[in-house]
Amino acid sequence: MTTSNFHYDLFVIGTGPGGEGAAMQAAKGGLRVGVAERYQQIGGGCTHWGTIPSKALRYAVTSTMRSLRNPVLREMGVNVSPSMAQLQRGTQSIIGKQVSMRQSFYDRNHVPVHRGQCRFVDEHTVQVDDGELIRSKFFVVATGTRPWRPPGVDFDHPRVFDSDTVLDLEERPDSITVYGAGVIGTEYASMFRNLGIKVNLVNSRSKLLEFLDDEIIDALSYHLRDQGVIIRHNESMDSIDPQDDGVILTLKSGKRLKTDVLLWANGRQGNTDDLGLDNIPIEANRRGQIDVNEQFQTVLPHIYAVGDVIGMPSLASAAYTQGRAAAMHLLGTADGNLRVHDIPTGIYTSPEISSVGRNERELTEACIPYEVGQAQFRSLARAQITGSTTGMLKLLFHRDTREILGVHCFGANASEIIHIGQAIMNQPGEHNTINYFIETTFNYPTMAEAYRVAALNGVNRLF
């Protein structure tokens, strides 16, 4: 496969999860691999602005506030109010550990990292900044996304943030408006409300997170409102007016909201505008995303694209799998996309949401005879012990074959709990059955025991 005309067999643009997955898989497959990274450290948006720092902050918020609400500490007279800077203090050390670990992967597999903005010169050549020209037989574009910034919004104002800059918020505001109720907006609305901040969550759609199961959506909406979040559906921005003492959001419905700060969480833009696509036949759409086929190939078969830059599902977990799938395809070791249609959602609100498979709405539209098994977390001993009684596990299964069709979870540790159902759902033939959960002994007390409770609840509905 190696050709003397090329510096590399594969050159990867971006070192986030998608780029890393592709680079490591190809290197282990014996290819000469190089990568480009424009930021000062590797890891991409996942490590520096998205998944890792936001989840680290979420953990700091939830664990700290839970401790401060502990009756024992209250009785001892402990009554403090941590600042945002204090809550974020541990985040940089976690990012540092991630960077160090991931750099060791590149070093160990002899994959050099070229620093700078990478641009295509022709179909087999890229230039890193204004320096070296690099020729490669294959490419993987894994440049990720950034928050979309609409014209007319002053993001340089100290009271206006997007999902990247909000991590630099040092003082805890008394109130915040989150514009955009997708995954990022909903997660941050939940996090800020946990801190006791007054939250307006403005949604341009009629429901929160419409891709989820309706019952989970209802549970999330109820829980957010129960915590005190004001949710405003079917609204769109008319103007944003930042002032010295707050930010005024005027909606097209005529409503006006004023809060200390505003978080813009409405949309992402692919990082393709400075990629030199004008020099090759690949075009990005209006959101900067690149179209690919089932094998993650662009219109040029030797150039692949993976991760957030290709659009949904925009998950770090999916990006890594996509990167590996692209590398395996170009290696010729796999002609498939590594179960990319079996990707669980992981939404880190408080509490978490996770799901895999189809939801009730989809099954009903497909006229599939299904039944529902539920376990309320408040009935689980482990949840009672830990005080995490909000939530539920929901199993959807075929009422004739008992095949598990979907698993939906809302509550503490949902993103971990979901993988048990995912594993059984993907067993071949008759091995995918709800009977597994009825016949299997689960540790007690555990959250995983919810599978047995939900399975028995569902089977008892059959006749």
Six-digit token string for 51: 């998944």
In 158-234, where do the E strands start and end?
160-162, 175-179, 198-202, 230-232
pLDDT over 70 at 4, yes or no: no
CA distances to 65, 70, 385 from 75, rounded to whole Å, are 16, 9, 20
| Whether 117 and 166 share a structural domain | no
CA distances to 256, 260, 263, 431 from 243, rounded to whole Å, are 14, 9, 15, 61
Q: Which of 251, 266, 281 is the last residue of a domain?
A: 266
Residue 90 falls within a domain, yes or no? yes
pLDDT tens string 347-378 = 999 889 999 999 999 999 999 999 999 999 99
**12 belongs to an annotated ligand binding site:** no
Nearest to 327 by CA among 71, 3, 111: 111
| Whether 170 and 111 share a structural domain | no
| Whether 30 and 132 share a structural domain | yes
pLDDT tens string 59-72 = 888 888 777 777 77
Residue 386 falls within a domain, yes or no? yes
| Whether 323 and 392 share a structural domain | no
d(CA 217, CA 104): 41
From the DSSP assignment, how many helices (H) and strands (E) are in the chain? Answer: 14, 22
Nearest to 285 by CA among 78, 459, 420, 145: 145
pLDDT tens string 433-450 = 999 999 999 999 999 999
Half-sphere exposure of 11 (CA within 13 A, CB side): 21
pLDDT tens string 386-408 = 889 999 999 999 999 999 999 99
Q: Provide the residue range defining the domain that includes 262.
A: 160-266
pLDDT over 60 at 3, yes or no: no
How many structural domains comprise the chain? 3
d(CA 103, CA 111): 10
**183 belongs to an annotated ligand binding site:** yes
Residues 6+ apart with CB under 8 A from 439: none
pLDDT over 70 at 176, yes or no: yes
Q: Residue 236 — very low, low, confident or very high, per pLDDT cuts 50/70/90? A: very high
**346 belongs to an annotated ligand binding site:** no
Q: Which of 266, 291, 307 is the last residue of a domain?
A: 266
| Whether 110 and 45 share a structural domain | yes
**N-term to C-term CA, the chain:** 60
Residues 6+ apart with CB under 8 A from 363: 370, 396, 405, 406
Q: Which of 217, 237, 266 is the last residue of a domain?
A: 266
Residue 258 falls within a domain, yes or no? yes
| Whether 62 and 93 share a structural domain | yes
Q: Residue 170 — very low, low, confident or very high, per pLDDT cuts 50/70/90? A: confident
Residue 442 falls within a domain, yes or no? yes
Segments in 76-182 forming alpha helices (H): 84-87, 91-108
**184 belongs to an annotated ligand binding site:** yes
pLDDT tens string 96-108 = 999 999 999 999 9
| Whether 392 and 254 share a structural domain | no
> According to the model, what pLDDT value does residue 378 have?
96
Enter the pTM of the model: 0.91
> According to the model, what pLDDT value does residue 37 have?
94
Nearest to 420 by CA among 411, 432, 429, 412: 432
| Torsion on CA atoms 123, 125, 131, 132, rounded to nearest 10 | 180
d(CA 289, CA 275): 12
Burial level of 298, CB count in 10 A (0-12/13-18/19+)? buried
Share of the chain above pLDDT 70, in %: 96
Query: Looking at the DSSP assignment, which residues form a beta bridge with residue 392?
Result: 376, 410
> According to the model, what pLDDT value does residue 337 have?
66
User: Are 200 and 176 spatial neighbours (Cβ–Cβ below 8 Å)?
Assistant: yes
| Whether 262 and 286 share a structural domain | no
Instruction: Answer positive or negative: Cα dihedral of 447, 94, 184, 210.
Output: negative
User: Are 9 and 33 spatial neighbours (Cβ–Cβ below 8 Å)?
Assistant: yes
**186 belongs to an annotated ligand binding site:** yes
Residue 341 falls within a domain, yes or no? no
Residue 1 falls within a domain, yes or no? no
| Whether 416 and 279 share a structural domain | no
> According to the model, what pLDDT value does residue 88 have?
82
**9 belongs to an annotated ligand binding site:** no
> According to the model, what pLDDT value does residue 2 have?
45
**180 belongs to an annotated ligand binding site:** yes
| Whether 124 and 13 share a structural domain | yes
Residue 445 falls within a domain, yes or no? yes
Query: How long a stretch of residues is the chain?
Result: 463
User: Are 153 and 264 spatial neighbours (Cβ–Cβ below 8 Å)?
Assistant: yes
Residue 3 falls within a domain, yes or no? no
**406 belongs to an annotated ligand binding site:** no
**182 belongs to an annotated ligand binding site:** yes
Judging by DSSP bridges, how do beta strands 145-147 and 268-270 pair with one another? Answer: antiparallel
Residue 55 belongs to a domain with what CATH number? Answer: 3.50.50.60
User: Are 35 and 149 spatial neighbours (Cβ–Cβ below 8 Å)?
Assistant: no
Burial level of 233, CB count in 10 A (0-12/13-18/19+)? middle
pLDDT tens string 178-200 = 999 999 999 999 999 999 999 99
Nearest to 357 by CA among 377, 343, 372, 369: 343
d(CA 330, CA 298): 13
Q: Residue 16 — very low, low, confident or very high, per pLDDT cuts 50/70/90? A: very high
| Whether 139 and 25 share a structural domain | yes
DSSP output for 187-200: HHHHHHHHTT-EEE
| Whether 260 and 323 share a structural domain | no
Residue 379 belongs to a domain with what CATH number? Answer: 3.30.390.30
Half-sphere exposure of 445 (CA within 13 A, CB side): 10
d(CA 297, CA 290): 10
User: Are 38 and 117 spatial neighbours (Cβ–Cβ below 8 Å)?
Assistant: yes
> According to the model, what pLDDT value does residue 334 have?
74
pLDDT over 90 at 79, yes or no: no
Six-digit token string for 154: 């002053």
> According to the model, what pLDDT value does residue 1 have?
42
